[in-house]
Amino acid sequence: MIEAILLLLLILLAIVAVETQILRMAVVFLGIFSLLLSFLYLYYGAPDVAIAEAVMASGLVTLLYLTALKRYRVYNICFTNQMFREVDDRYIVEGTRRGQLLHEVEQFCISKELEPQVVFTPEDLETLMETRKYDLIIRQEGDQLTIYGSQENYFVDELEMLLILRYQDLNTRFMRYAEDGSFVEES
């Protein structure tokens, strides 16, 4: 009976760990999985393997993964344009001053120990703002470039100063949004 319960819990934890969208929770579920596995080893009469599993896999490896994930953060950047339905995104970005700006944003993220993930999408601004899955939204409308960021995010403030200094020739403005979704134009 105990064996069946442990095996069922192991299967359930494995499925939950694989299906979760939050990496930290997946690591926690795998740590619990490993701890239950050590109990299963103990039930089968292998105390030395159970101790090794509990100490190394459940304890040490979980701690190392959580420490590594604490330092790792993806910064989601969305680049959207009215013309994306008709033109390939490389045509819009590569070899242009806007492409240099996007590369500068990526390099700035890397310097702040963030991994930039740039997504090109034809979605409208309202849809993007409702989902709130992007940390920064760069919207191109004709020759106007609008950068949307959270009002509480200090990273956007630093990025704004950098872009104002280096890209004065571009028609760029910054918009901030508050927690309630309202906009406050900065520059």
* Per-residue pLDDT in tens (0 to 9) along the chain, 187 residues: 889 999 999 999 999 999 987 778 889 999 999 999 999 999 999 999 999 999 998 889 988 888 887 777 788 888 887 655 544 454 445 556 667 777 888 888 888 777 788 888 777 777 777 776 788 888 877 777 788 888 777 788 888 888 778 777 777 788 887 766 666 655 4
The DSSP bridge partners found for residue 117 are 76
**How long is the chain?**
187
Helix, strand, coil % in the chain, rounded to nearest 5: 60, 20, 20
pLDDT of residue 91: 45
Cβ-proximal residues to 108 (8 Å cutoff; 6+ apart), any chain: 158, 159, 162
pLDDT of residue 33: 95
Please state whether 133 falls in left (phi above 0), alpha (psi between -120 and 50) or beta. Answer: alpha
Distance of CA 173 to the CA centre of its chain: 25
Which SS3 state, helix, strand or coil, does residue 114 take? coil
- This prediction has a pTM of 0.57
pLDDT of residue 95: 53
